[in-house]
A and B are shown apart, each in its own frame.
Chain A
Amino acid sequence: MKTQENTPMTTNTHFNLTARCLHWLMAVMILAMLFIGVGMMTSLHYRLWLINLHRPLGIAILLLVIVRLINRLRNPPPSLPANLPQWQVLAAKGSHILLYVLMLALPLIGWAMLSAAGYPIVLFKGFNLPAIVPTSPILYAWLRDAHSLLAWLLFVVVIGHLSAALVHALIYRDGVFSSMAKGSKHHQ
C-alpha cells in the first residue's frame, strides 16, 4: 500500500512546503472566487461588495500562480504511483496543465476585459491598474464570453480534481492525496 517504500530514494514523495501552502491557499481563493464571480452577476444586494473583492482577489491569484509555477518548475512534483492506469495518469497530467492555464488566463482575461470596456480597474480605492488592451466592443464581446466560459470550465475541472483527489484519499489510499496534504516524514 505504501508506494513510498517502492519508489527510489532519489524521488521525492511529497510536494514541498511552498507547493502545499500555495495549493491549499489557492484552493480556497479559487473556489471563493468562482462563487464571488457568479454571485456578483446575480445578487440584488451584494454586487458592489462582491465586485470590490473580485478584482484584488483575481490579481492575487495571478501573482500567486506565477510563484507557484516557478516553484513547480524548480521542484518537480512527486511521481504518480507506478500501478496507476495510463488513462488516469493522462487525466491527472492533462487536468493539472489545464488548471495552470486557467489560473493564469482567467485573471488576465478579466483584466483585459475591463480594459476593453473602458472601466477603471480599481484594485483598491485610489489605486487603479493600467489598461492592457485598447477599448473596443469587439474585444470586450470576445473577452467577456471567454471569461465566463473559462470560469465554468475551471469550476468543472476543480470539481473533477477534488473528486479524483478524494478517490485517492478514501479508496486507493496510495499516497497521492497525502503527497499534497502533508510533508514527507524523512524531510520534516
Chain B
Amino acid sequence: MSHLNLRSKRTWLALILIAIIATTLISAFAWTAGWIGKRQTTESLVMEAVQPFPAGFRRAHGKGICYVGNFRPNKDIMSLSTARVFSQPNIPIVGRFSIGTGDPHAVDSSTKTISMALLLTTDDKQQWRMAMNNVPYFPTHNPEGFLAMRQATAPNPETGKPDPERVARFLQEYPEAEKFLKMTATAAPPDSFANSTFHSVNAFLLVSADGQKQPIRWMMRPHEAQLSLAETKQQHTTDNFLFDDLRHTLEEQPLMWDLVLQLAQPNDPINDPSQPWPQDRQQIIAGTLQVTSVVDQAKGACRDINFDPSIVPAGIEVSDDPILSARSGAYSHSFNRREREIGYGKATDAVGKQEVK
C-alpha cells in the first residue's frame, strides 16, 4: 500500500516522528556549520580591516614579499627527530616576509609585528610550513581569549582609544595577557627584517626513531653580522622602508638565520603559548636558513601558499596547543577567500594587474 492514509492517526504520528528526526539532523548540521546558535567559530578569527577588502590579499599580514633560499640542517638533530629536513643536506625553500597589519596597503610603520613564513619541501615530499612572528609568545592561552582581547582593546569610536574599563575586565578573565600588552606597548618598532628574531610561538614535538617525543619551540635568530644592518640605513620615514631595506640588502648579500630549538623540560606547559619557557632551557641550532632573493608577492610562489603552521613533516608533530588549531582554521578561511578571488579573476593589484576603475 503505497499511499498515505491521512485519516489514520498512525500516519500522522509517523510523519511527525520523521519530521522531528529530519529537523534534528538539519539543526545539528546548521549548528556545526556555525549558521545557528552563538558558537564562536574560526570564521570569527578572520577580520577584514578595510572595507571593501581588496580582492586576492591575505586577510591578515596582507602586505608582504616572497623570498627564496635554502636550508642546511645540523645533522645532530637526527637523534631527536626522524624528519628528513634534518638529514637532507640542502633543502630549497620558499617563504614570505610580512607586516602584521590588516590593510595590505598599510605603511610599514603602522605595526610593531613583523613575520617570517616558510615552506620547506624535502625530497621525500614531506612539507614543513612555519609562520613566525617577532613576538615571542601569544597574548592568551586560548582562542576565545584572543577574540575577547580584540573586542576589549578595540578603540572606542568617540575617544579613538580603548576603553580602560573593558581592558581591565578582559585582564581579569585573562591575566596572562597583561605581560603581552605591556611588552607590545613598550617594544621598540622593528627597523629591519634582517636583524629581527622570529618565533614559532606554539609548541611542537620532535619524534625520534625510537618514538621518544621532545617538546620544542623554535626561533629564527639572525646571524650576528646582520644585527647592525639597519643602523646604517636612512631614517625610517618611507612607507615601505622595511621592504625596501630588505630588497637593497639582498642585492648585496644573502641573509642568514639560525633555526634555534628550545627544548622543554618535563613540566613546561606545551599547550599554553602565552607562557614562554624559562630562558635557561637548552637551545640547539638545528640548521641555517639562507635567504637569497626576494620577489614581489603578486608574482612570487608564496602568493598561493597557505603558511599553515600545523603542517609538519613526519618526525615532527603538533602539540595540543589550542592556538595552533585555531590558527590553522583562520589561515584556511583567509586562503580560501583570496584564492577564490584570484581563481575567479577578481583580483587586480594582488596579482599584479592594473586596477580597472
Contacts of A144 in B (CB 8 A): 336, 339-340
Contacts of A40 in B (CB 8 A): 329
A120 and B328 in contact (CB under 8 A), knowing A34-B29, A42-B43?
no
State the main secondary structure of chain B at its contact with A.
helix
- Tell me whether B2 and A47 are in contact (CB under 8 A): no
Bound Cα distance A40, B329 (Å):
8
Bound Cα distance A38, B26 (Å):
13
B325 within 8 A of A: yes
- Tell me whether B17 and A141 are in contact (CB under 8 A): no
Bound Cα distance A40, B10 (Å):
40
Contacts of A126 in B (CB 8 A): 126, 314
Bound Cα distance A48, B335 (Å):
17
B25 within 8 A of A: yes
A101-157 contacts to B, CB under 8 A, are 117-120, 125-126, 128, 135-142, 144-145, 155
- Tell me whether A172 and B311 are in contact (CB under 8 A): no
Contacts of A141 in B (CB 8 A): 339-340, 342-344
Q: Return the contact of A44 from the options B40, B127, B314 (Cβ within 8 A).
A: B40
Mark the stretch among B31-39, B85-93, B149-157, B193-201 that contacts chain A.
Answer: B31-39
B295 within 8 A of A: no
- Tell me whether B310 and A48 are in contact (CB under 8 A): yes
- Tell me whether A139 and B325 are in contact (CB under 8 A): no
Mark the stretch among A6-14, A67-75, A160-168 that contacts chain B.
Answer: A160-168
- Tell me whether A85 and B2 are in contact (CB under 8 A): yes
- Tell me whether B15 and A41 are in contact (CB under 8 A): no
- Tell me whether B344 and A43 are in contact (CB under 8 A): no
CB closest residue in chain A, given B5? A171
- Tell me whether B28 and A35 are in contact (CB under 8 A): yes
Bound Cα distance A46, B310 (Å):
12
- Tell me whether B32 and A45 are in contact (CB under 8 A): no
- Tell me whether B2 and A44 are in contact (CB under 8 A): no
Give the size of the chain B interface in residues (CB under 8 angstroms). 54
Contacts of B326 in A (CB 8 A): 44-45, 47
B320-336 contacts to A, CB under 8 A, are 322, 324-326, 328-329, 332-333, 335-336
B144 within 8 A of A: yes
For B153-174 the 0/1 string (1 means CB < 8 A from A) is: 0000000000000000000000
B22 within 8 A of A: yes
Contacts of B33 in A (CB 8 A): 38, 41-42
- Tell me whether A42 and B42 are in contact (CB under 8 A): yes
For B336-353 the 0/1 string (1 means CB < 8 A from A) is: 100110111000000000
Q: Return the contact of B2 from the options A135, A142, A155, A172 (Cβ within 8 A).
A: A172
- Tell me whether A138 and B343 are in contact (CB under 8 A): yes
A118 and B125 in contact (CB under 8 A), knowing A41-B329, A46-B325, A47-B329?
no
Q: Return the contact of A174 from the options B1, B14, B310 (Cβ within 8 A).
A: B1
Bound Cα distance A117, B144 (Å):
29
Bound Cα distance A94, B142 (Å):
47
Pairs across A and B, CB under 8 Å, 9 listed: A44-B322, A45-B143, A47-B328, A48-B328, A51-B328, A88-B2, A140-B339, A171-B10, A171-B15
Which B residues are within 8 Å of any A CB, using their own CB?
A: 1-4, 10-11, 14-15, 17-18, 21-22, 25-26, 28-29, 32-34, 39-43, 45, 125-127, 142-144, 304-306, 310-311, 314, 317-318, 322, 324-326, 328-329, 332-333, 335-336, 339-340, 342-344
The 9 closest A-B pairs by CB, nearest first: A141-B343, A126-B314, A42-B41, A170-B14, A38-B33, A42-B34, A137-B342, A137-B343, A138-B343
